[in-house]
Amino acid sequence: MNKKIHWGIMGLGKIAHKFAQDLKLVDNAVITAVGSRSMDKATDFASSYDAKNAYSSYEELAQDPDVDIIYIATPHSLHYENTLLCLNHGKSALCEKPIALNQEQAEEMAALARSKNLFLMEGIWTRFIPATHKLLELLEQKSIGDLHYLKADFGFIVNAPPESRLVDKNLGGGALLDIGIYPLYLSMLVLGNPIDIKANAILAPNGIDQFCSVIASFPNNTQAVMESSFISNTPTEAFIYGSKGYIKMHRKFHQSEKLELHLYESDTTQIFELPIKGNGYVHEIEHVHERLHANATQSDLLPLEMSLQLTRHLDRIKELIGLKYT
Ligand SMILES: NC(=O)c1ccc[n+]([C@@H]2O[C@H](COP(=O)([O-])OP(=O)(O)OC[C@H]3O[C@@H](n4cnc5c(N)ncnc54)[C@H](OP(=O)(O)O)[C@@H]3O)[C@@H](O)[C@H]2O)c1
């Protein structure tokens, strides 16, 4: 039987709760410790999920000798320093997306993980859901022929106070880093590394992007057309078009439970129902367990190199739209 994996959770906000609920569903996952800026919050969270240790600082969590890996669920601007803190205390880390604010930070994080022989992965949970596995299988089988282009959007109306991590520039707010990362990641998974990127945005008065559109060109004369928005409710679907038909990832595509394969010649549509387990993070957690049990220091499905490339392309888009984080 595989040994238990002892998890720590850093930053006890919205996603930390969903992730903790899913940890409870995974064999051999133990929520050992949680760390917050507030002791009350840490104690409440720990008692809700039966965590043995609650800390009022991230530093103490990183020092807990009983923890194997820490899930970092803090705002974007803190991912770099929080990940370094974990790695420097000998802890593996699963860091929420985006892994860093820029490529320089991401490179340093990856280099430290490598030098310390610790596991590090960006929390792009979409990679591990059944719909993504099925999509890649259908593409591998050439079910839609030669690939032409991908179209994906992600948008919802944000009515958040200025201090919310979604819109506070100091916390890495904006649509691109929060949700635009999903269409971009999907395009890279399906089409490879962009060779050219065009982008435009509607910026908010504080300089964050409220809407961002990206057209990326890929090898083999393929393209991706992508949008992310905080000012409109959009379908949040993805379509992959090929010479013989298309595949649709149903809403919301980053956690899709339904794929549709449409073939032009026969004018037929095949539906694949692909339920996610729990809140959807179970698949990602199971993958991390499998890698840790194999003593791997990174994911084979979402390697650090992919996160570095993704960060590099996000940097390019930020440059094109005039989005700067200090
Ligand atoms: N995978 C997904 O589907 C998904 C979905 C949503 C979000 N995310 C990612 O998860 C991360 C957290 O998102 P969230 O929606 O959970 O955010 P959130 O509700 O705002 O929680 C973030 C937590 O970070 C901690 N924090 C530390 N310094 C902070 C500061 N200066 N201001 C605000 N919070 C601070 C706080 O925890 P303490 O007070 O306990 O220290 C806070 O509760 C982001 O990177 C986001 O992109 C991923």
Q: Give CA torsion, residues 177, 179, 181, 187, to 10 deg.
A: -160
Q: 3-state class of 59 per DSSP?
A: helix
pLDDT value of position 135: 98
Question: What does the pLDDT look like over 261-304, one tens digit per residue?
Answer: 999 999 999 999 999 999 999 999 999 999 999 999 999 999 99
pLDDT tens per residue, range 143-154: 999 999 999 999
Burial of 221: CB neighbours in 10 Å, binned 0-12, 13-18, 19+: exposed
Which has the closest alpha carbon to 279: 74, 123, 117, 147? 123
Sheet with 53-55: list strands edge to edge.
53-55, 29-35, 5-10, 69-72, 92-96, 120-123
- The answer as to whether 319 is a domain residue is no
**Separation between Cα atoms, residue 9 and residue 17, nearest integer Å:** 10
**Domain endpoint, select from 70, 95, 123:** 123
Q: Please check whether residue 305 lies inside any domain of the structure.
A: no
**Co-location of 109 and 192 in the same domain:** no
Instruction: Grade residue 1 by pLDDT with cuts at 50, 70 and 90.
Output: low
Q: Same domain, yes or no, for 113 and 175?
A: no
- Cα distance between residue 25 and residue 281, in whole Å: 10
Q: pLDDT-based confidence at 101, cuts 50/70/90?
A: very high
Q: How does DSSP classify residue 264?
A: T
Please report, for the domain that includes residue 96, its CATH number.
Answer: 3.40.50.720
Whether residues 110 and 136 share a domain: the answer is: no
Query: Would you say the CB of residue 22 lies under 6 angstroms from ligand 1?
Result: no
**Same structural domain, 71 and 160:** no
- Summarised one tens digit per residue, pLDDT across range 190-200 is 999 999 999 99
Atom of ligand 1 nearest to the CA of 124: 1
Boundary of a domain, candidates 106, 123, 140: 123
For residue 2, the model assigns a pLDDT of 79
What residues make up the domain containing 201?
130-275
Ligand 1 atom nearest the C-alpha of 37 is 41
Mean pLDDT in residue range 90-96: 98
- Name 217's bridge partners: 196, 223
Asked if 267 and 164 sit in the same domain, the reply is yes
Question: Into how many domains does the chain fold?
Answer: 2
Kindly give the distance from the C-alpha atom of residue 13 to the centroid of ligand 1, in angstroms, as a whole number: 5
Among protein residues, the one with the nearest Cα to ligand 1's atom 44 is 75
**C-alpha distances in angstroms, 42 versus 72, 79, 134, 158, 285?**
14, 19, 38, 27, 22
Whether 110 and 165 map to the same domain: the answer is no
Are residues 134 and 270 both part of a single domain?
yes
Q: Which amino acid is at 124?
A: I
